[in-house]
Amino acid sequence: MSGNHLGALLSHSFRDLAVLRVLRLSGMSTLRFVDRNSFVNLSSLQRVELSGNAALRYVDRDAFLNVSYVTDVSLAGCGLSAVDRQLVDPLPALKSLDLRRNPIGCDCHARWMRLSNVTAVDVGVCDVDPGGTATGCGPRIAALFNAELDVQLTDTFTLYCRAVGSPAPRIRWTFPPSHDSNSSSSSAQVR
């Protein structure tokens, strides 16, 4: 599936594929995020390659569900600035999580990467303790869309917002009041 033009891997993108052992999703120039439960009940899956996806900004902490034989996950060369430590929790057989060549900053979101015996990161990522605590690490919002969007009045569009943090961030959308005198409402439908 490498090289396809998918914008996201949504829940249940890969589900109940009992004979799948290796999943290659590399070089997908438009892939921005991997949502919760993207990989479900993949009883033979051993390797997941998501490397070389420069637009990839977010992988949900619950992306993997009932995939207990995964030994290798490659997220090298993506656009990830942070990854939740809980991503590795549902992967008991994991031997390698490759996070090299990502713009990971040294803060409380990255400390676990240096302490993990399965994670590969670039030299220099958190060589010094960044501070913060495992139970109190403020959210880091993944940049999944541009700050300004031009959309035709009759078009529909979807905005996704995802964040990394401990505890898990809860996201709420708010909109400024309308300044249009012809408008009777300042609400918008958000799902």
Percentage, residues of the chain above pLDDT 70: 76
Higher pLDDT, 69 or 151: 69
Higher pLDDT, 160 or 92: 92
Q: Is the pLDDT of residue 134 over 50?
A: no
pTM for the model: 0.73
| pLDDT recorded at residue 63 | 94
Q: Is the pLDDT of residue 23 over 90?
A: yes
Q: Is the pLDDT of residue 28 over 70?
A: yes
State the Cα–Cα distance between residues 138 and 87, nearest whole angstrom: 17
Q: Write b or e for each residue in 158-185: b if 16 or more Cβ atoms lie within 10 A of its Cβ, otherwise e.
A: eeebbbbbbeebeeeeeeeeeeeeeeee
Q: What is the pLDDT of residues 142-182, one digit of tens each?
A: 666 666 667 787 877 777 667 777 777 777 777 777 655 45
Per DSSP, the residues of 136-149 read BEEEEE---S-S--
From residue 187, alpha-carbon distances to 65, 92, 190 in Å are: 36, 45, 9
- Averaged pLDDT of the chain: 80
Higher pLDDT, 82 or 33: 33
State the Cα–Cα distance between residues 91 and 42, nearest whole angstrom: 12
Per DSSP, the residues of 148-163 read -----TT--------E
| pLDDT recorded at residue 156 | 79
Cβ(32)–Cβ(8) below 8 Å: yes
Candidate ranges 68-77, 80-89, 140-149; pick with highest mean pLDDT: 68-77
| pLDDT recorded at residue 119 | 78
CA 168 distance to own-chain centroid:
13
